Structure 1
Amino acid sequence: MNYKGGVGKTTLTANLAAEIANRGHRVLMIDLDPQTNLTFSFFTVEEWNADLRNTRTIQRWYDGEMPGRDIPLEQLVLTPERVNAKVKENAGQLDLISSHLGLINIDLQLAAKLGATTLGESKRKFLQVHGCLAAALKSPAFADYDLVLIDCPPNFGLVTKTAIVASEYILVPAKADYLSTLGIGYLRHSVDKLVTDYNDYLGHGSVGEAGGKRIEPKFAGVVFTMTQIHAGQPINTQRMQIENTRALGDMPVFRASVRNSPRYFAEAGPDGVPPVLVGAIDDPVSRELRALSDEFVEAIAGGKHRS
Protein backbone atom coordinates (compact mmCIF):
# COMPACT_ATOMS: atom_id res chain seq x y z
CA MET A 1 0.00 0.00 0.00
CA ASN A 2 0.99 3.63 -0.47
CA TYR A 3 -0.82 6.94 -0.06
CA LYS A 4 0.34 7.93 -3.55
CA GLY A 5 -1.12 6.41 -6.69
CA GLY A 6 0.86 5.67 -9.82
CA VAL A 7 3.65 3.79 -8.05
CA GLY A 8 3.06 0.45 -9.75
CA LYS A 9 1.15 -1.04 -6.82
CA THR A 10 -1.30 -3.09 -8.86
CA THR A 11 1.26 -4.18 -11.45
CA LEU A 12 3.49 -5.38 -8.63
CA THR A 13 0.63 -7.26 -6.95
CA ALA A 14 -0.38 -9.05 -10.15
CA ASN A 15 3.14 -10.11 -11.07
CA LEU A 16 4.20 -11.05 -7.55
CA ALA A 17 1.06 -13.17 -7.10
CA ALA A 18 1.50 -14.84 -10.49
CA GLU A 19 5.18 -15.62 -9.94
CA ILE A 20 4.57 -17.13 -6.49
CA ALA A 21 1.61 -19.16 -7.76
CA ASN A 22 3.78 -20.39 -10.62
CA ARG A 23 6.13 -21.84 -8.01
CA GLY A 24 3.43 -24.26 -6.95
CA HIS A 25 1.64 -22.21 -4.29
CA ARG A 26 -2.04 -21.40 -3.78
CA VAL A 27 -2.43 -17.62 -3.88
CA LEU A 28 -5.52 -15.45 -3.40
CA MET A 29 -5.66 -11.82 -4.51
CA ILE A 30 -8.26 -9.41 -3.11
CA ASP A 31 -8.83 -6.24 -5.15
CA LEU A 32 -9.91 -3.43 -2.80
CA ASP A 33 -9.07 -0.58 -5.17
CA PRO A 34 -12.17 0.91 -6.86
CA GLN A 35 -10.07 1.55 -9.96
CA THR A 36 -10.39 -2.25 -10.41
CA ASN A 37 -7.09 -2.50 -12.30
CA LEU A 38 -6.00 -5.70 -10.58
CA THR A 39 -9.27 -7.32 -11.63
CA PHE A 40 -8.80 -6.09 -15.20
CA SER A 41 -5.35 -7.67 -15.23
CA PHE A 42 -7.08 -11.07 -15.27
CA PHE A 43 -10.53 -10.40 -16.75
CA THR A 44 -11.52 -8.23 -19.69
CA VAL A 45 -13.89 -5.34 -19.14
CA GLU A 46 -16.46 -7.26 -21.19
CA GLU A 47 -16.14 -10.33 -18.95
CA TRP A 48 -16.43 -8.17 -15.84
CA ASN A 49 -19.55 -6.41 -17.11
CA ALA A 50 -21.23 -9.62 -18.22
CA ASP A 51 -20.33 -12.01 -15.40
CA LEU A 52 -19.04 -10.17 -12.32
CA ARG A 53 -20.31 -6.61 -12.05
CA ASN A 54 -23.71 -7.19 -10.47
CA THR A 55 -23.15 -10.08 -8.07
CA ARG A 56 -19.53 -11.24 -7.82
CA THR A 57 -17.40 -8.36 -6.51
CA ILE A 58 -16.12 -7.30 -3.10
CA GLN A 59 -18.57 -4.37 -3.14
CA ARG A 60 -21.44 -6.79 -2.64
CA TRP A 61 -19.70 -8.22 0.42
CA TYR A 62 -19.14 -4.79 2.01
CA ASP A 63 -22.72 -3.71 1.25
CA GLY A 64 -25.61 -4.31 3.60
CA GLU A 65 -26.16 -3.94 7.32
CA MET A 66 -22.66 -5.27 8.04
CA PRO A 67 -19.99 -6.69 5.68
CA GLY A 68 -20.56 -10.38 5.00
CA ARG A 69 -24.13 -10.50 6.30
CA ASP A 70 -25.60 -10.84 2.81
CA ILE A 71 -22.99 -13.13 1.23
CA PRO A 72 -19.97 -15.05 2.57
CA LEU A 73 -16.64 -13.82 1.23
CA GLU A 74 -15.71 -17.27 -0.08
CA GLN A 75 -18.63 -17.19 -2.52
CA LEU A 76 -16.91 -14.32 -4.36
CA VAL A 77 -13.67 -16.20 -5.12
CA LEU A 78 -12.92 -16.44 -8.84
CA THR A 79 -10.35 -18.60 -10.63
CA PRO A 80 -9.24 -16.75 -13.79
CA GLU A 81 -8.90 -19.37 -16.50
CA ARG A 82 -6.07 -18.00 -18.62
CA VAL A 83 -3.50 -17.42 -15.90
CA ASN A 84 -4.42 -20.68 -14.16
CA ALA A 85 -3.82 -22.65 -17.34
CA LYS A 86 -0.24 -21.42 -16.94
CA VAL A 87 0.38 -21.78 -13.19
CA LYS A 88 -1.30 -25.19 -12.96
CA GLU A 89 1.55 -26.57 -15.04
CA ASN A 90 3.56 -26.21 -11.82
CA ALA A 91 0.72 -27.26 -9.47
CA GLY A 92 -0.08 -23.67 -8.49
CA GLN A 93 -3.39 -21.83 -8.26
CA LEU A 94 -4.19 -18.14 -8.49
CA ASP A 95 -7.61 -16.91 -7.34
CA LEU A 96 -9.12 -13.44 -7.18
CA ILE A 97 -11.88 -11.55 -5.41
CA SER A 98 -12.89 -8.81 -7.84
CA SER A 99 -13.30 -5.12 -7.13
CA HIS A 100 -16.01 -2.75 -8.32
CA LEU A 101 -15.95 0.89 -9.37
CA GLY A 102 -18.67 1.55 -6.79
CA LEU A 103 -16.32 0.56 -3.98
CA ILE A 104 -15.35 4.22 -3.78
CA ASN A 105 -18.55 4.82 -1.76
CA ILE A 106 -18.00 2.02 0.76
CA ASP A 107 -15.87 4.11 3.16
CA LEU A 108 -18.87 6.36 3.82
CA GLN A 109 -21.12 3.36 4.40
CA LEU A 110 -18.64 1.83 6.84
CA ALA A 111 -18.22 5.14 8.67
CA ALA A 112 -21.99 5.28 9.22
CA LYS A 113 -21.81 1.91 10.98
CA LEU A 114 -19.44 3.33 13.62
CA GLY A 115 -22.13 5.51 15.22
CA ALA A 116 -22.81 4.69 18.88
CA THR A 117 -24.39 6.19 22.00
CA THR A 118 -22.07 4.69 24.64
CA LEU A 119 -18.30 4.21 24.88
CA GLY A 120 -18.69 0.45 25.10
CA GLU A 121 -20.86 0.33 22.01
CA SER A 122 -18.41 2.62 20.19
CA LYS A 123 -15.51 0.26 20.92
CA ARG A 124 -17.52 -2.78 19.92
CA LYS A 125 -18.50 -1.22 16.59
CA PHE A 126 -14.94 -0.04 15.97
CA LEU A 127 -13.67 -3.61 16.32
CA GLN A 128 -16.58 -5.04 14.36
CA VAL A 129 -16.10 -2.73 11.36
CA HIS A 130 -12.31 -2.69 11.31
CA GLY A 131 -12.10 -6.44 11.91
CA CYS A 132 -14.69 -7.54 9.36
CA LEU A 133 -12.25 -8.69 6.66
CA ALA A 134 -10.01 -10.42 9.19
CA ALA A 135 -13.03 -12.30 10.52
CA ALA A 136 -14.11 -13.36 7.02
CA LEU A 137 -10.65 -14.67 6.16
CA LYS A 138 -10.77 -16.95 9.19
CA SER A 139 -13.29 -19.10 7.32
CA PRO A 140 -12.05 -22.67 6.66
CA ALA A 141 -12.58 -21.92 2.96
CA PHE A 142 -9.37 -19.83 3.02
CA ALA A 143 -7.26 -22.20 5.10
CA ASP A 144 -5.52 -23.84 2.14
CA TYR A 145 -4.12 -20.63 0.66
CA ASP A 146 -0.38 -20.16 1.12
CA LEU A 147 -0.63 -16.43 0.56
CA VAL A 148 -3.31 -13.75 0.39
CA LEU A 149 -2.33 -10.49 -1.32
CA ILE A 150 -4.63 -7.50 -0.83
CA ASP A 151 -4.41 -4.61 -3.30
CA CYS A 152 -5.45 -1.48 -1.37
CA PRO A 153 -6.61 1.89 -2.68
CA PRO A 154 -4.07 4.76 -2.37
CA ASN A 155 -5.60 6.17 0.82
CA PHE A 156 -5.99 5.35 4.51
CA GLY A 157 -9.78 5.05 4.54
CA LEU A 158 -11.84 2.42 6.29
CA VAL A 159 -11.56 -0.14 3.49
CA THR A 160 -7.76 0.11 3.70
CA LYS A 161 -7.94 -0.19 7.48
CA THR A 162 -9.94 -3.43 7.23
CA ALA A 163 -7.13 -4.77 5.03
CA ILE A 164 -4.44 -3.76 7.54
CA VAL A 165 -6.27 -5.45 10.41
CA ALA A 166 -6.49 -8.59 8.28
CA SER A 167 -2.79 -8.52 7.32
CA GLU A 168 0.33 -9.94 8.85
CA TYR A 169 2.67 -8.00 6.56
CA ILE A 170 2.46 -4.73 4.64
CA LEU A 171 4.35 -4.18 1.39
CA VAL A 172 4.94 -0.57 0.32
CA PRO A 173 5.65 0.04 -3.40
CA ALA A 174 7.19 3.44 -4.13
CA LYS A 175 8.85 5.32 -6.94
CA ALA A 176 12.34 6.56 -6.15
CA ASP A 177 11.34 10.21 -6.02
CA TYR A 178 10.62 12.72 -3.28
CA LEU A 179 6.83 12.82 -3.60
CA SER A 180 6.42 9.03 -3.64
CA THR A 181 8.54 8.52 -0.52
CA LEU A 182 7.31 11.59 1.35
CA GLY A 183 4.46 9.75 3.08
CA ILE A 184 6.32 6.60 4.13
CA GLY A 185 7.02 7.83 7.66
CA TYR A 186 3.46 9.09 8.04
CA LEU A 187 2.13 5.77 6.75
CA ARG A 188 4.05 3.97 9.47
CA HIS A 189 2.67 6.38 12.07
CA SER A 190 -0.90 5.85 10.81
CA VAL A 191 -0.58 2.07 10.88
CA ASP A 192 0.95 2.14 14.36
CA LYS A 193 -1.93 4.27 15.64
CA LEU A 194 -4.54 1.95 14.13
CA VAL A 195 -2.85 -1.07 15.69
CA THR A 196 -2.62 0.66 19.08
CA ASP A 197 -6.29 1.72 19.03
CA TYR A 198 -7.50 -1.71 17.93
CA ASN A 199 -5.49 -3.58 20.54
CA ASP A 200 -6.41 -1.06 23.25
CA TYR A 201 -10.11 -1.63 22.59
CA LEU A 202 -9.52 -5.38 22.78
CA GLY A 203 -7.74 -4.85 26.08
CA HIS A 204 -10.84 -3.21 27.51
CA GLY A 205 -12.94 -6.26 26.79
CA SER A 206 -14.67 -5.07 23.63
CA VAL A 207 -14.47 -8.07 21.30
CA GLY A 208 -15.73 -7.57 17.76
CA GLU A 209 -16.49 -10.05 15.00
CA ALA A 210 -12.79 -10.63 14.40
CA GLY A 211 -12.49 -12.17 17.85
CA GLY A 212 -10.15 -11.29 20.69
CA LYS A 213 -6.83 -11.70 18.88
CA ARG A 214 -4.43 -8.77 18.97
CA ILE A 215 -3.10 -7.59 15.64
CA GLU A 216 0.61 -7.15 14.88
CA PRO A 217 1.06 -6.31 11.18
CA LYS A 218 4.69 -5.84 10.24
CA PHE A 219 6.17 -3.89 7.36
CA ALA A 220 7.72 -6.32 4.91
CA GLY A 221 9.41 -3.25 3.47
CA VAL A 222 9.53 -0.67 0.70
CA VAL A 223 10.06 -1.93 -2.84
CA PHE A 224 11.13 0.66 -5.39
CA THR A 225 9.40 0.47 -8.76
CA MET A 226 9.70 2.23 -12.11
CA THR A 227 13.43 2.80 -11.63
CA GLN A 228 15.47 4.14 -14.52
CA ILE A 229 18.56 2.02 -15.06
CA HIS A 230 21.96 3.20 -16.26
CA ALA A 231 25.06 1.01 -16.22
CA GLY A 232 23.16 -1.71 -14.38
CA GLN A 233 21.81 0.39 -11.50
CA PRO A 234 19.26 3.15 -10.84
CA ILE A 235 20.28 6.61 -12.03
CA ASN A 236 22.04 8.79 -9.45
CA THR A 237 19.03 10.79 -8.25
CA GLN A 238 16.98 7.63 -7.73
CA ARG A 239 19.84 5.80 -6.06
CA MET A 240 20.24 8.68 -3.61
CA GLN A 241 16.50 8.59 -2.84
CA ILE A 242 16.64 4.84 -2.22
CA GLU A 243 19.63 5.21 0.11
CA ASN A 244 18.02 8.14 1.94
CA THR A 245 14.88 6.05 2.52
CA ARG A 246 17.00 3.18 3.81
CA ALA A 247 18.95 5.54 6.10
CA LEU A 248 15.77 6.99 7.63
CA GLY A 249 14.98 3.57 9.04
CA ASP A 250 11.19 4.02 9.07
CA MET A 251 10.86 0.54 7.56
CA PRO A 252 13.02 -2.01 5.71
CA VAL A 253 13.92 -1.44 2.06
CA PHE A 254 14.05 -4.36 -0.37
CA ARG A 255 17.34 -4.97 -2.14
CA ALA A 256 15.43 -5.85 -5.31
CA SER A 257 13.76 -3.12 -7.35
CA VAL A 258 11.77 -3.16 -10.58
CA ARG A 259 12.71 -0.94 -13.50
CA ASN A 260 10.40 1.12 -15.65
CA SER A 261 9.65 -0.81 -18.84
CA PRO A 262 6.46 0.16 -20.71
CA ARG A 263 7.30 -2.41 -23.39
CA TYR A 264 7.53 -5.26 -20.89
CA PHE A 265 4.41 -4.40 -18.91
CA ALA A 266 2.39 -3.70 -22.05
CA GLU A 267 2.32 -7.48 -22.45
CA ALA A 268 -0.21 -7.56 -19.58
CA GLY A 269 -3.10 -6.97 -21.93
CA PRO A 270 -6.44 -8.70 -22.47
CA ASP A 271 -4.76 -12.13 -22.40
CA GLY A 272 -5.05 -12.04 -18.60
CA VAL A 273 -1.57 -13.44 -17.92
CA PRO A 274 0.94 -11.15 -16.15
CA PRO A 275 4.15 -10.58 -18.11
CA VAL A 276 6.33 -12.28 -15.49
CA LEU A 277 4.85 -15.56 -16.75
CA VAL A 278 5.15 -14.86 -20.47
CA GLY A 279 8.15 -12.54 -20.80
CA ALA A 280 11.54 -13.86 -21.87
CA ILE A 281 13.15 -15.64 -18.94
CA ASP A 282 16.37 -13.66 -19.37
CA ASP A 283 14.61 -10.29 -19.71
CA PRO A 284 15.99 -7.89 -17.04
CA VAL A 285 12.48 -7.13 -15.73
CA SER A 286 11.68 -10.83 -15.43
CA ARG A 287 14.88 -11.32 -13.44
CA GLU A 288 14.01 -8.39 -11.17
CA LEU A 289 10.50 -9.68 -10.51
CA ARG A 290 11.83 -13.15 -9.69
CA ALA A 291 14.46 -11.63 -7.38
CA LEU A 292 11.78 -9.56 -5.67
CA SER A 293 9.61 -12.67 -5.26
CA ASP A 294 12.55 -14.50 -3.67
CA GLU A 295 13.18 -11.65 -1.25
CA PHE A 296 9.49 -11.19 -0.44
CA VAL A 297 9.00 -14.89 0.32
CA GLU A 298 12.12 -14.77 2.49
CA ALA A 299 10.79 -11.70 4.34
CA ILE A 300 7.54 -13.42 5.30
CA ALA A 301 8.99 -16.90 5.82
CA GLY A 302 7.76 -18.95 8.73
CA GLY A 303 4.10 -19.51 7.96
CA LYS A 304 1.15 -18.46 5.84
CA HIS A 305 1.09 -14.71 5.57
CA ARG A 306 -0.96 -11.90 4.10
CA SER A 307 0.37 -8.64 2.80
Structure 2
Amino acid sequence: MSRIVAVANQKGGVGKTTTAINLAASVASRGLRVLLVDFDPQGNASSGVGYGRERVELTIYDALSGDVSLADVIRPTDITTLFVVPANTDLVGAEIELISADRRERFLADALAPVVSQYDYIVIDCPPSLGLLTLNALVAADGVVIPMQAEYFALEGLSALSKTIEKVKAAYNPKLTIDGVLFTMYDARLSVANQVKDEVARFFGEKVFGESIPRNVRLSEAPSHGKPCLLYDLRCAGTKSYLAIADELIDRTNAGKPALALQP
Protein backbone atom coordinates (compact mmCIF):
# COMPACT_ATOMS: atom_id res chain seq x y z
CA MET A 1 0.00 0.00 0.00
CA SER A 2 1.23 3.46 -0.89
CA ARG A 3 1.09 6.19 1.73
CA ILE A 4 1.01 9.93 1.16
CA VAL A 5 2.54 11.92 4.02
CA ALA A 6 2.26 15.70 4.27
CA VAL A 7 4.99 17.42 6.30
CA ALA A 8 3.21 20.49 7.60
CA ASN A 9 3.48 23.35 10.05
CA GLN A 10 2.22 26.86 9.37
CA LYS A 11 5.07 28.28 11.44
CA GLY A 12 8.30 28.83 9.53
CA GLY A 13 11.75 27.97 10.84
CA VAL A 14 10.77 24.68 12.50
CA GLY A 15 12.75 22.37 10.22
CA LYS A 16 9.79 21.49 8.01
CA THR A 17 11.68 21.30 4.71
CA THR A 18 14.71 19.73 6.38
CA THR A 19 12.37 17.06 7.72
CA ALA A 20 10.67 16.50 4.36
CA ILE A 21 14.01 16.06 2.58
CA ASN A 22 15.68 13.86 5.16
CA LEU A 23 12.63 11.80 6.03
CA ALA A 24 12.05 11.06 2.34
CA ALA A 25 15.73 10.21 1.81
CA SER A 26 15.89 8.05 4.93
CA VAL A 27 12.80 6.05 3.97
CA ALA A 28 14.23 5.62 0.47
CA SER A 29 17.50 4.36 1.95
CA ARG A 30 15.53 1.47 3.42
CA GLY A 31 14.89 0.18 -0.09
CA LEU A 32 11.45 1.76 -0.55
CA ARG A 33 10.40 3.89 -3.53
CA VAL A 34 9.75 7.45 -2.39
CA LEU A 35 8.49 10.54 -4.22
CA LEU A 36 9.30 13.90 -2.63
CA VAL A 37 6.79 16.54 -3.75
CA ASP A 38 8.00 20.10 -3.27
CA PHE A 39 4.79 22.04 -2.65
CA ASP A 40 6.41 25.17 -1.23
CA PRO A 41 6.99 28.08 -3.68
CA GLN A 42 10.39 28.67 -2.06
CA GLY A 43 11.59 25.48 -3.75
CA ASN A 44 13.98 24.56 -0.95
CA ALA A 45 13.11 20.86 -0.96
CA SER A 46 14.03 20.79 -4.66
CA SER A 47 17.42 22.44 -4.14
CA GLY A 48 18.01 20.21 -1.11
CA VAL A 49 18.10 17.16 -3.37
CA GLY A 50 20.11 18.77 -6.15
CA TYR A 51 17.52 20.69 -8.17
CA GLY A 52 18.38 24.36 -7.78
CA ARG A 53 16.58 26.99 -9.83
CA GLU A 54 19.04 26.76 -12.71
CA ARG A 55 18.40 23.02 -13.04
CA VAL A 56 14.60 23.07 -12.82
CA GLU A 57 12.59 23.05 -16.04
CA LEU A 58 9.15 21.57 -15.40
CA THR A 59 7.64 21.98 -11.92
CA ILE A 60 4.59 20.98 -9.92
CA TYR A 61 2.94 24.17 -11.21
CA ASP A 62 3.05 22.85 -14.77
CA ALA A 63 1.27 19.69 -13.64
CA LEU A 64 -1.38 21.57 -11.65
CA SER A 65 -2.09 23.90 -14.56
CA GLY A 66 -2.65 20.92 -16.84
CA ASP A 67 0.19 21.72 -19.24
CA VAL A 68 1.84 18.33 -18.55
CA SER A 69 1.15 15.24 -16.46
CA LEU A 70 2.82 14.85 -13.09
CA ALA A 71 4.80 11.92 -14.48
CA ASP A 72 6.51 14.35 -16.87
CA VAL A 73 7.70 16.47 -13.94
CA ILE A 74 9.23 13.69 -11.79
CA ARG A 75 13.03 13.70 -11.64
CA PRO A 76 15.58 11.21 -10.24
CA THR A 77 17.97 12.02 -7.39
CA ASP A 78 21.32 10.68 -6.21
CA ILE A 79 19.44 8.07 -4.16
CA THR A 80 18.24 5.38 -6.56
CA THR A 81 14.79 4.97 -5.00
CA LEU A 82 14.16 8.66 -4.26
CA PHE A 83 12.47 10.89 -6.85
CA VAL A 84 11.38 14.52 -6.70
CA VAL A 85 8.70 16.78 -8.13
CA PRO A 86 10.39 20.21 -8.12
CA ALA A 87 8.80 23.58 -7.37
CA ASN A 88 9.72 27.22 -7.78
CA THR A 89 8.08 30.62 -7.30
CA ASP A 90 5.62 29.89 -10.13
CA LEU A 91 3.68 27.96 -7.50
CA VAL A 92 2.60 31.27 -5.96
CA GLY A 93 0.48 31.76 -9.07
CA ALA A 94 -1.20 28.41 -8.55
CA GLU A 95 -2.55 29.45 -5.17
CA ILE A 96 -4.09 32.57 -6.71
CA GLU A 97 -5.56 30.61 -9.62
CA LEU A 98 -7.03 27.96 -7.32
CA ILE A 99 -9.24 30.50 -5.53
CA SER A 100 -11.81 30.54 -8.33
CA ALA A 101 -11.36 26.95 -9.56
CA ASP A 102 -13.87 24.11 -9.21
CA ARG A 103 -12.71 21.34 -6.84
CA ARG A 104 -9.95 23.75 -5.85
CA GLU A 105 -8.97 21.64 -2.84
CA ARG A 106 -8.36 18.50 -4.94
CA PHE A 107 -5.93 19.63 -7.63
CA LEU A 108 -2.93 17.95 -5.99
CA ALA A 109 -4.84 14.75 -5.19
CA ASP A 110 -5.98 14.52 -8.80
CA ALA A 111 -2.45 15.15 -10.11
CA LEU A 112 -0.96 12.47 -7.85
CA ALA A 113 -3.60 9.82 -8.53
CA PRO A 114 -1.99 8.33 -11.68
CA VAL A 115 1.43 7.84 -10.02
CA VAL A 116 0.56 6.90 -6.42
CA SER A 117 0.77 3.16 -7.03
CA GLN A 118 4.36 3.50 -8.28
CA TYR A 119 5.69 4.56 -4.86
CA ASP A 120 5.70 3.20 -1.33
CA TYR A 121 5.68 6.71 0.12
CA ILE A 122 4.93 10.15 -1.24
CA VAL A 123 6.24 12.92 1.02
CA ILE A 124 4.81 16.42 0.48
CA ASP A 125 6.71 19.47 1.71
CA CYS A 126 3.94 21.97 2.50
CA PRO A 127 4.35 25.76 2.52
CA PRO A 128 4.54 27.46 5.96
CA SER A 129 0.91 28.60 5.90
CA LEU A 130 -2.61 27.22 6.14
CA GLY A 131 -3.68 28.44 2.68
CA LEU A 132 -4.98 26.61 -0.39
CA LEU A 133 -1.70 24.85 -1.13
CA THR A 134 -1.58 23.29 2.33
CA LEU A 135 -5.29 22.45 2.06
CA ASN A 136 -4.55 20.60 -1.20
CA ALA A 137 -1.74 18.69 0.50
CA LEU A 138 -3.96 17.69 3.43
CA VAL A 139 -6.76 16.57 1.12
CA ALA A 140 -4.30 14.43 -0.86
CA ALA A 141 -2.55 12.95 2.19
CA ASP A 142 -3.16 9.85 4.26
CA GLY A 143 -1.20 11.23 7.19
CA VAL A 144 0.59 14.30 8.50
CA VAL A 145 4.00 14.59 10.12
CA ILE A 146 4.23 17.77 12.19
CA PRO A 147 7.75 19.05 12.90
CA MET A 148 7.94 21.55 15.75
CA GLN A 149 10.41 23.16 18.10
CA ALA A 150 10.11 22.57 21.82
CA GLU A 151 9.10 26.17 22.59
CA TYR A 152 5.96 27.47 24.27
CA PHE A 153 4.86 29.59 21.31
CA ALA A 154 4.97 26.44 19.19
CA LEU A 155 2.15 24.94 21.26
CA GLU A 156 -0.32 27.51 19.89
CA GLY A 157 0.70 26.70 16.33
CA LEU A 158 0.32 22.98 16.99
CA SER A 159 -3.17 23.56 18.35
CA ALA A 160 -4.18 25.60 15.28
CA LEU A 161 -2.80 23.00 12.87
CA SER A 162 -4.53 20.17 14.73
CA LYS A 163 -7.86 21.99 14.42
CA THR A 164 -7.25 22.53 10.70
CA ILE A 165 -6.49 18.82 10.24
CA GLU A 166 -9.75 17.92 12.01
CA LYS A 167 -11.72 20.31 9.78
CA VAL A 168 -10.13 18.87 6.63
CA LYS A 169 -10.86 15.37 7.88
CA ALA A 170 -14.52 16.23 8.48
CA ALA A 171 -15.10 18.12 5.23
CA TYR A 172 -12.86 16.50 2.61
CA ASN A 173 -10.65 13.62 3.71
CA PRO A 174 -11.99 11.23 6.37
CA LYS A 175 -8.89 9.01 6.19
CA LEU A 176 -6.52 11.82 7.25
CA THR A 177 -4.61 11.19 10.45
CA ILE A 178 -1.59 12.55 12.30
CA ASP A 179 1.26 10.13 11.66
CA GLY A 180 3.52 11.82 14.17
CA VAL A 181 4.73 14.93 15.95
CA LEU A 182 8.48 15.40 15.57
CA PHE A 183 10.59 17.65 17.76
CA THR A 184 13.34 19.39 15.79
CA MET A 185 16.38 21.39 16.87
CA TYR A 186 15.87 19.67 20.20
CA ASP A 187 18.19 20.25 23.15
CA ALA A 188 17.44 17.88 26.02
CA ARG A 189 19.60 20.00 28.35
CA LEU A 190 16.97 22.76 28.35
CA SER A 191 14.23 22.37 30.94
CA VAL A 192 11.75 24.30 28.78
CA ALA A 193 12.31 21.84 25.92
CA ASN A 194 11.53 18.89 28.16
CA GLN A 195 8.49 20.64 29.62
CA VAL A 196 7.05 21.37 26.17
CA LYS A 197 7.73 17.82 25.02
CA ASP A 198 5.95 16.43 28.07
CA GLU A 199 3.00 18.77 27.48
CA VAL A 200 2.65 17.68 23.85
CA ALA A 201 2.95 14.02 24.87
CA ARG A 202 0.04 14.49 27.29
CA PHE A 203 -2.26 15.37 24.40
CA PHE A 204 -0.77 13.36 21.54
CA GLY A 205 0.57 10.33 23.41
CA GLU A 206 2.24 7.81 21.12
CA LYS A 207 1.84 10.17 18.16
CA VAL A 208 5.01 11.90 19.40
CA PHE A 209 8.01 10.25 17.76
CA GLY A 210 10.33 8.55 20.22
CA GLU A 211 13.35 10.12 18.52
CA SER A 212 13.92 13.90 18.35
CA ILE A 213 16.13 15.75 15.88
CA PRO A 214 19.03 17.53 17.58
CA ARG A 215 20.62 20.78 16.51
CA ASN A 216 23.33 19.61 14.15
CA VAL A 217 25.80 21.57 12.03
CA ARG A 218 26.07 18.90 9.34
CA LEU A 219 22.29 18.83 9.00
CA SER A 220 22.35 22.59 8.39
CA GLU A 221 25.21 22.37 5.88
CA ALA A 222 23.82 19.57 3.70
CA PRO A 223 21.21 21.64 1.75
CA SER A 224 23.88 24.04 0.47
CA HIS A 225 25.50 21.02 -1.19
CA GLY A 226 22.20 19.87 -2.71
CA LYS A 227 22.22 16.65 -0.72
CA PRO A 228 20.16 14.97 1.98
CA CYS A 229 22.23 14.66 5.14
CA LEU A 230 22.77 10.91 4.75
CA LEU A 231 24.69 11.56 1.52
CA TYR A 232 26.59 14.45 3.09
CA ASP A 233 27.57 12.82 6.38
CA LEU A 234 26.17 9.37 7.05
CA ARG A 235 27.50 9.19 10.60
CA CYS A 236 26.41 12.57 11.98
CA ALA A 237 23.76 12.85 14.69
CA GLY A 238 21.21 14.40 12.32
CA THR A 239 21.43 11.52 9.86
CA LYS A 240 21.14 8.91 12.60
CA SER A 241 18.06 10.64 14.03
CA TYR A 242 16.25 10.87 10.69
CA LEU A 243 17.03 7.22 9.91
CA ALA A 244 15.48 6.30 13.27
CA ILE A 245 12.41 8.45 12.52
CA ALA A 246 12.08 6.80 9.10
CA ASP A 247 12.06 3.35 10.68
CA GLU A 248 9.49 4.49 13.23
CA LEU A 249 7.26 5.94 10.49
CA ILE A 250 7.51 2.77 8.41
CA ASP A 251 6.64 0.69 11.47
CA ARG A 252 3.66 2.93 12.34
CA THR A 253 2.17 3.15 8.88
CA ASN A 254 2.91 -0.34 7.55
CA ALA A 255 3.37 1.02 4.03
CA GLY A 256 6.53 -1.00 3.58
CA LYS A 257 9.10 -3.12 5.34
CA PRO A 258 12.51 -1.59 6.04
CA ALA A 259 15.15 -3.22 3.89
CA LEU A 260 17.88 -1.90 6.19
CA ALA A 261 19.85 -1.01 3.08
CA LEU A 262 21.81 1.75 4.73
CA GLN A 263 23.08 1.85 8.29
CA PRO A 264 25.05 4.65 9.92
Structure 2 length-normalised TM: 0.87
Superposed, 1:171-182 pairs within 5 Å as 171-182=145-156
Match status 1:52 vs 2:69: no
In structure 2, the CA distance between the partners of 1:152 and 1:43, relative to structure 1 (3 Å rule), is same
**Structure 1 residues 9-35: Cα deviation after superposition (integer angstroms, max 9, x where no partner):** 111111111111111111000001011
Structure 1: how far apart are the matches of 2:256 and 2:49? Answer: 27
Superposed, 1:26-65 pairs within 5 Å as 26-43=33-50, 45=52, 48-49=53-54, 51-53=55-57, 56-63=58-65
Aligned with 1:104 (options 81, 92, 99) = 92
- Map of 1:157 onto structure 2: 131
In structure 2, the CA distance between the partners of 1:180 and 1:243, relative to structure 1 (3 Å rule), is same
8 Å contact 1:74–1:142 — kept in the other structure? no
Q: Give RMSD over aligned pairs.
A: 2.1
In structure 2, the CA distance between the partners of 1:250 and 1:268, relative to structure 1 (3 Å rule), is same
Match status 1:187 vs 2:135: no
1:143 match: secondary structure: helix
- Map of 2:195 onto structure 1: 240
Structure 2: how far apart are the matches of 1:182 and 1:111? Answer: 27
In structure 2, the CA distance between the partners of 1:133 and 1:280, relative to structure 1 (3 Å rule), is closer
8 Å contact 1:19–1:276 — kept in the other structure? yes
8 Å contact 2:218–2:238 — kept in the other structure? no
Instruction: Give aligned-pair identity as a percent.
Output: 29
- Map of 2:76 onto structure 1: 79
8 Å contact 1:219–1:251 — kept in the other structure? no
Aligned residues: 250
Structure 1: how far apart are the matches of 2:138 and 2:16? Answer: 16
1:221 match: secondary structure: strand
**Structure 1 residues 274-296: Cα deviation after superposition (integer angstroms, max 9, x where no partner):** 11234243x33332222111111
Superposed, 1:1-307 pairs within 5 Å as 1-43=8-50, 45=52, 48-49=53-54, 51-53=55-57, 56-63=58-65, 69-80=66-77, 83-84=78-79, 88=80, 93-113=81-101, 125=102, 128-139=103-114, 141-198=115-172, 215-230=174-189, 235-249=190-204, 252-270=207-225, 272-281=226-235, 283-302=236-255
Structure 1: how far apart are the matches of 2:82 and 2:204? Answer: 34
Larger of the two Rg values belongs to structure: 1
In structure 2, the CA distance between the partners of 1:273 and 1:222, relative to structure 1 (3 Å rule), is same
8 Å contact 2:34–2:82 — kept in the other structure? yes
How far 1:195 moved relative to its partner? 2.4
Stretches of structure 1 that go unaligned for 5 or more consecutive residues are: 64-68, 114-124, 199-213
In structure 2, the CA distance between the partners of 1:149 and 1:44, relative to structure 1 (3 Å rule), is closer
8 Å contact 1:15–1:289 — kept in the other structure? yes
How far 1:102 moved relative to its partner? 2.5
Stretches of structure 2 that go unaligned for 5 or more consecutive residues are: 1-7, 258-264
Corresponding letter in the other structure for 1:285: G
Structure 2: how far apart are the matches of 1:250 and 1:23? Answer: 26
1:182 match: secondary structure: helix
**Structure 1 residues 55-82: Cα deviation after superposition (integer angstroms, max 9, x where no partner):** x01122233xxxxx322111110112xx
8 Å contact 2:60–2:87 — kept in the other structure? yes
Structure 1: how far apart are the matches of 2:94 and 2:163? Answer: 24
